């Protein structure tokens, strides 16, 4: 029994798909595929084939997925304003096709559960303004659609700062305007242009800003690549050609970015570590062939001393360090060694050197790195450190 989605064989991964087969009445069998958390990419042609030595049968169907309502509230994150300033909230339906079959209801903005009057509404957007905010205007503001069949909501908490309260004043930093924020709270803002995620900045108790943190800000190219790998892992795609294309395209993109960027941001460095781990996971589970030289080149670029500041940030904020990248390199090397036709694999970069080879230690010793692979002359003393395992004597003498 095999299941296919848009021509690709579906495995039985542990996350979204569950494939079962069991005996039923009258000497028949029941085969089911359950999809948990249906996504837009599940649309398309589905097919099941059942075969044995005698016969082959198949059935097909087309699945249409109606997108779930997505709301966007601007401002997106909790914020503070000074007393007397204006509050402006705008809620928008970002995918209008999700409500084409909704005939009743509209967008509603509430404060602490009470519906706000005097909103300016259209079919896919609603706006509420308070021109002179006072202390009672502090609270949680939530946007929902009253006619949608399930509850979908977005919300922000607004704090109206009183004149006597400690606060951090508005200022620009890291290309972002950080508006006045109550002391002792963390401010969130959208990431700089061409990055996804959110930036944070803590307002100290005495009313001074700490340095902004952009650890959660990632370049769009890295975010998209990570999502594509997640799709492959979650959907159990076993099409080797498709997996290899996705993996190798991702590696080439990473090589181009990491080699052309003088210093990776902390967010991109952290994302790179996650992507490399996913690549090894996908390669191991599908038996796909990876462009090893490009993989090692990405690692070499990531390990550059130019990224030392970002490495420090990543280590402090996430606990990741260079050992994680070396572990994934070792995992990939194990796959290379397990292949039927092992040939010597060598990589010499600016920040690390790698040799994968097989040898008979009773015939020759092992020295790493070899002088010739270190791009130096034959002068033995020019290599500061090395590892050497002499030839092993396998003959044992009788006592």
| Of 279, 303, 320, nearest in space to 354 by CA | 303
**Which H helix or E strand runs over 10?**
none
What are the pLDDT digits (tens) for 348-361? 888 888 877 766 66
Burial class (CB in 10 A: 0-12, 13-18, 19+), 124: middle
Burial class (CB in 10 A: 0-12, 13-18, 19+), 346: middle
Give the pair of three-digit tokens for residue 398: 């009788």
121 and 143 belong to one structural domain: yes
Burial class (CB in 10 A: 0-12, 13-18, 19+), 302: buried
DSSP 180-195: -EETT-EEEEEPSTTE
The alpha carbon torsion through 200, 205, 206, 211 (nearest 10 deg) reads -20
Last residue in a domain, options 35, 63, 91: 63
268 and 325 belong to one structural domain: yes
What is the sign, positive or negative, of the torsion defined by CA atoms of 340, 374, 273, 176?
Answer: negative
The secondary structure of residue 283, as a DSSP letter, is H
Residue 393, domain member (yes or no): no
310 and 327 belong to one structural domain: yes
In angstroms, the CA 67 to CA 83 distance is: 40
36 and 116 belong to one structural domain: no
Q: How many residues does the chain have?
A: 399
Structural domains in the chain (count)? 4
Give the pair of three-digit tokens for residue 375: 């791009």
Distances (CA, A) of 127 to 100, 109, 153: 21, 8, 15
Digit-by-digit pLDDT tens for the chain (399 residues) are: 899 988 888 875 657 788 888 988 888 889 999 988 888 888 999 999 999 889 999 999 999 998 899 999 999 999 999 999 999 999 999 999 999 888 899 999 999 999 998 899 888 999 999 999 999 999 999 999 999 999 999 999 999 999 999 999 999 998 889 999 999 999 999 998 889 999 999 999 999 999 999 999 999 999 999 998 988 887 766 677 888 889 999 999 999 999 998 999 999 999 999 999 999 888 887 777 888 889 999 999 999 999 999 999 999 988 888 888 888 888 887 766 665 455 677 788 888 888 777 666 666 766 666 655 444 444 545 556 667 777 776 654 443
115 and 75 belong to one structural domain: yes
Q: What is the pLDDT of residue 395?
A: 56
In angstroms, the CA 265 to CA 255 distance is: 15
Distances (CA, A) of 217 to 148, 174, 192, 198, 250: 32, 12, 8, 6, 19
Q: What is the pLDDT of residue 199?
A: 95
In angstroms, the CA 70 to CA 392 distance is: 66
Q: What is the pLDDT of residue 377?
A: 40
Buried b / exposed e along 149-160 (16+ C-beta atoms within 10 A): eeeeebbbebbb
- Its domain, for residue 17, covers 2-63
In angstroms, the CA 290 to CA 256 distance is: 17
Q: What is the pLDDT of residue 47?
A: 95
pTM, to two decimals? 0.74
197 and 248 belong to one structural domain: no
256 and 181 belong to one structural domain: no
206 and 235 belong to one structural domain: no
Last residue in a domain, options 290, 310, 336: 336
196 and 228 belong to one structural domain: no
Which residue stretches of 236-291 are H helix?
240-260, 266-286
224 and 332 belong to one structural domain: yes
State whether residue 27 is helix, strand or coil: coil
Residue 392, domain member (yes or no): no
89 and 134 belong to one structural domain: yes
Residue 192, domain member (yes or no): yes
Residue 142 CB-half CA count within 13 A: 13
CATH number at residue 150: 2.60.40.10
Residue 218 CB-half CA count within 13 A: 21
Place of tokens 């050992």: 323
Strands 153-161 and 79-82: parallel
Q: What is the pLDDT of residue 360?
A: 66
CATH number at residue 235: 1.25.40.610
Residue 354, domain member (yes or no): no
What are the pLDDT digits (tens) for 45-94? 999 999 988 999 999 999 999 889 999 999 999 999 999 999 999 999 99
Buried b / exposed e along 169-192 (16+ C-beta atoms within 10 A): eeeeeeebebbbbbbebebbbbbe
Last residue in a domain, options 336, 370, 393: 336
Q: For residue 45, report the phi and psi dihedrals to the nearest 5 degrees.
A: -90, 125
Q: What is the pLDDT of residue 244?
A: 87
Residue 379, domain member (yes or no): no
Burial class (CB in 10 A: 0-12, 13-18, 19+), 25: exposed
242 and 151 belong to one structural domain: no
Radius of gyration of the chain (CA): 29
């Amino acid at each position: 029994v095999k299941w296919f989605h848009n021509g690709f064989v579906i495995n039985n991964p542990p996350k979204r798909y569950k494939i079962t087969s069991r005996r039923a009445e009258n000497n028949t069998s029941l085969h089911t595929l359950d999809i948990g958390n249906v996504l837009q990419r599940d649309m398309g042609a589905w097919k099941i084939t059942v075969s044995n030595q005698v016969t082959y049968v198949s059935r097909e169907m087309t699945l249409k997925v109606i997108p779930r309502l997505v709301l966007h509230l601007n401002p997106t994150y909790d914020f503070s304003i000074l007393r007397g300033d204006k509050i402006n909230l705008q809620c928008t339906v970002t995918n209008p096709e999700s409500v084409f079959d909704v005939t009743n209801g509209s967008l509603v903005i509430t404060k602490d559960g009470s519906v706000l009057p005097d909103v300016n509404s259209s079919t896919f957007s609603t706006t509420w303004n308070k021109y002179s905010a006072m202390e009672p205007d502090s609270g949680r503001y939530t946007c929902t659609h009253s006619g949608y069949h399930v509850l979908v909501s977005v919300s922000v908490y607004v704090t109206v700062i009183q004149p006597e309260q400690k606060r951090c004043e508005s200022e620009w930093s890291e290309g972002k305007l950080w508006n006045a924020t109550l002391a002792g709270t963390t401010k969130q803002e959208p990431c700089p242009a061409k990055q996804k995620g959110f930036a944070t900045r803590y307002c100290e108790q005495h009313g001074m800003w700490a340095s902004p943190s952009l650890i959660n800000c990632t370049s769009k190219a890295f975010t998209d690549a990570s999502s594509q790998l997640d799709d492959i892992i979650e959907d159990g795609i076993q099409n080797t050609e498709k997996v290899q294309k996705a993996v190798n395209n991702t590696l080439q993109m990473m090589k181009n970015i990491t080699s052309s960027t003088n210093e990776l941001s902390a967010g991109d460095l952290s994302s790179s570590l996650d992507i490399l781990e996913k690549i090894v996971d996908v390669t191991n589970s599908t038996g796909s062939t990876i462009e090893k030289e490009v993989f090692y080149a990405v690692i070499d670029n990531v390990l550059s001393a130019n990224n030392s500041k970002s490495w420090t940030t990543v280590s402090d904020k996430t606990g990741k360090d260079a050992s994680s990248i070396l572990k994934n390199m070792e995992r990939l090397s194990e796959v290379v060694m397990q292949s039927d036709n092992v040939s010597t694999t060598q990589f010499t970069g600016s920040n690390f050197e790698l040799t994968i080879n097989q040898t008979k230690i009773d015939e020759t010793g092992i020295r790493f790195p070899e002088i010739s692979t270190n791009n130096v002359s034959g002068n033995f003393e020019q290599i500061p450190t090395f590892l050497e395992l002499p030839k092993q004597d396998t003959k044992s003498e009788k006592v």
